[in-house]
Structure 1
């Protein structure tokens, strides 16, 4: 029996805190019997019943004293109950008892469905508890409308922005996130807060989750607050281009350039312009003008050194060179500028890292052991492209055949994507010890350094700035570049892995890295998966006796001079047709080819533009429709060349001086054929005509390619792996000999 009000209340509170809910409930039931008009007893008893899992009884207990009161009193007591439950919910949140807090707030929502701050808190707790389906429901109960009606609500602005940030971090692809961000704009305390939250989310959505259009929609919102924010415009231009909205991407890049004041910003804006123009294809005069301007600004930047740059601008330096080898084959002059940029990049990155308390010891070999601790050479591979990407398809045979008894393989996947990707998962399961990493270069370098990697192999070169940053920090004593693009020119990289053919004999004079030539080929594969073709001649209105030429390259590689050669070939081969496939802006690329065809006297009805096929195996099967593949120059095919040769199709290539202009040459040599290798522009045309007119020659080449599958170095991944491993052992021995 209750005898002393103060004593029983203390006892009840202690039972409640100790979660002795049965005893606490008994005490409050007794109190209600004695003082049935004390409303707070009902609130407390209902809460206790709720925590016992008796939700219906709890709600009935709360409603019991309200059944016979007027509207005004009902509202007062409802508010009191809501505040009572709010206090308990906040207490539970401080104790990180989120499941209980969530349960209480759900009932608060039933009591007052329009309290927006409770809904915001429910969303936050639901995210912590990963109650994804509940978050979707909460979105649908008027959150957007409440935010729009700003003058009619008591929204806690700080809480709202926190919800936006958590939702973008945890549910970045939710269909109404852009709408939520839109209505949140007036609630940001300052423009930088908005910039930080929206840009961080957009980078994840656009680059990691591969939804560039959604990322662009999110970033566009910030322009309402800062229409001339160059950093936002840079990323916006990139996302437009990635979403193949080339026109808008090009115009946004041009706006970036017009707003850029520093030389570093101008360099990257010009790179973005080139990126868009070349991806779209067909804008050749503007491409050449932009390229010339880029080289001029790069030289001005080099001459103006030293220029202090923060991390973001440092990282952009090297990627600006990416487009130039697609435009001209002049490696000596190109690398003169690029290598100097790489030197500045390395110096600035290392200085930035030191300012962050990061310094690695691998520039001083005296501090390092002679051999790995487990007597295996520890090889580290770093790349963002170990997925459904050309690098991913080609590198896998090296991992497949590595000798695990002699080498400890560690793979560092940069910007790991938690989405379905067959090749990425293959690497996770087959590439030794695999590390799924983000986009923080310093953290990645720390991990590699802590793992005591002996030889770090970069598969990206300058195609990803983060990888370049890691290599510049020198987290491993020996560093090499292989496969990804061309040598990056970073002084912290020791070797560039090539072969006897892919670089000319005198190439060392314009490379800062030591060129390490493997004995036969710098790449080999055991083969490719081939699906069921979806292309047929009758569907393309091509007769059975017609000769089909094919070019299957992206817009970046479309060069007008090479296209002229291709049209001249077509003109000389009766009943011939040209199939054109590759990512580009459809109308622009058609104008590009139609104009050159007209100038060379070729009827445009002989051209066919093929849609993109998103299955790699079907793409390879469709190559089989071609009688001859015409390669691009000055940037050859690489993966496409390998696929063409694997499918037994004759190829015509023009050999140049730079790495990108000699890929097809080394692959053809290592597949055992020389037919189709041209050393001059005229030879390219001659081979194209000869192969088009001579069906017997085509059959001979196709037969050689079929036979080469059993004998040629290009198709022997195991032999290639042994040669790479021998190279690693010799690199390690040289390193130790220097000590």
Structure 2
């Protein structure tokens, strides 16, 4: 708790708050801004706007560091920001348990207002779009920065390579940094896309003009809206623009016509939480790679784990771990002394915080084990050593879940109403393990507890995953490409039919 001298004036408190903010000490800064508001409520608007910079910065720090003393208070202030017209963007919003679909939509739409307002003074090209001729290939363009060994390329590249070039051409517009020679997924991307256009040094108008001149029919954003080239999309260089894959939630942007989901992730009754129209893939919306390496044989001892333990694992980034879900995991540890919790290391500070939180919940901190970030095959190998992957909520494991299933390890997930909370449910459904999807916290606890107790059931699930690894549609990029082609052909046809329909 931050101790504040009550004798300080409002101006002195405000100056101290700003100094703390500059030093990135956001959690402390929020306490000072709160004190300023008590002494100078007549300046609420100015103080509150500055306070929310640190509210969001502090909440992100609490997430990243697993420093939860002020987590709930900061999260409540984030929610308050929705009602006060504040906005925050980025994946951290998806991991906040109190942010509903409508809160997330409100934030992203405020972000959209900001983006559009910044463009009002810019001259805009007047692009005229025409329906592609019947015998013309449909041109797909993907705008992103991760055409190298990163999760998006890791998932998408194989499917791109399988798209039928008799009917489609596929362009990449790359605004990422220089990629080192020899990067596996960069080399695969260069083979998969028909053209990769470097756009990092080009302005938005120039990029939009290039996309328009290339005749792109469907343009995809595959980047977080916080770091995407939104100015390019706002210029409407393509007749159809789609928010896809990288950021699992609505963009809020009026210039994205569609978001791609599926029947599990984005059922029709949740459509009102999206600014975009929802396109639903047949099967799971997430592409995957069948060329990823299989896990190696490995002992628990290699990973410094006890051989006789029941290993509950989660290798998500730390910001996805919430106090509420950690509480459930600790209850699961309390239920059986043989169980341990194996997590991705976020550094010594994070490990120290999580061990402290475990001890507060009556768990011996030595029952927590940590593993550093590592390469793909080693990652699959360690996942193979887990008994059950326990998913985070509300931002579940997406690439992590497909990695675990590829490695042959079952995952138990808790599905909510947001896109980010339902991806693992879709993945599990696609491999015939929908029974591992829980719809409320008590059910999640019961499913993990039962599976952790039943070695025979875990063996059966592992055999099911191993025997069908190359049978599941989930791990077939060629099957994904056919389903994606079908969706894109229907989308293009429907778009142009609708544009020709008479209005009344």
TM range (shorter): 0.7 to 0.9
From the superposition, tell whether residues 416 and 607 of structure 1 become closer, same or farther in structure 2 (CA, over 3 Å): closer
**In 2: Cα distance, 1:373 partner to 1:519 partner:** 25
Q: Give the aligned partner of residue 155 of structure 2.
A: 394
Alignment partner of 1:323 is 2:83:
no
From the superposition, tell whether residues 696 and 325 of structure 1 become closer, same or farther in structure 2 (CA, over 3 Å): same
Deviation at 1:605, TM superposition (A): 2.2
How is 1:486-505 mapped onto 2 (pairs within 5 angstroms)?
A: 486-505=249-268
Q: Give the aligned partner of residue 67 of structure 2.
A: 283
SS at match of 1:711: coil
How is 1:188-587 mapped onto 2 (pairs within 5 angstroms)?
A: 249-250=24-25, 254=29, 268-280=53-65, 282-297=66-81, 299-301=83-85, 320-328=89-97, 330-351=99-120, 355-361=121-127, 367-371=128-132, 375-420=136-181, 421-438=183-200, 440-464=203-227, 466-485=228-247, 486-527=249-290, 529-530=292-293, 536-539=299-302, 542-582=305-345, 584-587=346-349
**In 1: Cα distance, 2:281 partner to 2:295 partner:** 36
RMSD between superposed Cα atoms in Å: 3.1
**In 1: Cα distance, 2:463 partner to 2:111 partner:** 45
- Listed as ranges, the gaps of 5+ residues in structure 2 are 1-14, 37-44
Alignment partner of 1:695 is 2:480:
no
Deviation at 1:700, TM superposition (A): 0.8
Q: Tell me if structure 1 keeps the 8 A contact 2:105–2:250.
A: no
Q: Give the aligned partner of residue 376 of structure 2.
A: 616
Cα displacement string for residues 88-137 of structure 1 (whole angstroms, at most 9, x for unaligned residues): xxxxxxxxxxxxxxxxxxxxxxxxxxxxxxxxxxxxxxxxxxxxxxxxxx
**In 2: Cα distance, 1:447 partner to 1:254 partner:** 45
Higher-strand-fraction structure: 2
**In 2: Cα distance, 1:331 partner to 1:553 partner:** 21
**In 1: Cα distance, 2:61 partner to 2:210 partner:** 35
Deviation at 1:604, TM superposition (A): 2.0
**In 2: Cα distance, 1:558 partner to 1:249 partner:** 22
Give aligned pairs, total.
470
**In 2: Cα distance, 1:291 partner to 1:545 partner:** 39
Deviation at 1:324, TM superposition (A): 2.2
The TM-score normalised by the length of structure 2 is 0.84
Deviation at 1:385, TM superposition (A): 2.1
The TM-score normalised by the length of structure 1 is 0.59
**In 1: Cα distance, 2:348 partner to 2:465 partner:** 33
SS at match of 2:312: strand
From the superposition, tell whether residues 635 and 252 of structure 1 become closer, same or farther in structure 2 (CA, over 3 Å): closer
**In 1: Cα distance, 2:110 partner to 2:267 partner:** 23
**In 2: Cα distance, 1:472 partner to 1:274 partner:** 30
The structure that has the greater radius of gyration is 1
**In 1: Cα distance, 2:238 partner to 2:473 partner:** 30
SS at match of 2:106: helix
Q: Tell me if structure 2 keeps the 8 A contact 1:540–1:608.
A: no
Deviation at 1:452, TM superposition (A): 2.3
SS at match of 1:506: helix
Cα displacement string for residues 167-210 of structure 1 (whole angstroms, at most 9, x for unaligned residues): xxxxxxxxxxxxxxxxxxxxxxxxxxxxxxxxxxxxxxxxxxxx
**In 2: Cα distance, 1:428 partner to 1:481 partner:** 22
- Listed as ranges, the gaps of 5+ residues in structure 1 are 1-226, 238-247, 303-316, 362-366
**In 2: Cα distance, 1:588 partner to 1:647 partner:** 27
Q: Tell me if structure 2 keeps the 8 A contact 1:254–1:269.
A: yes
Deviation at 1:639, TM superposition (A): 0.6
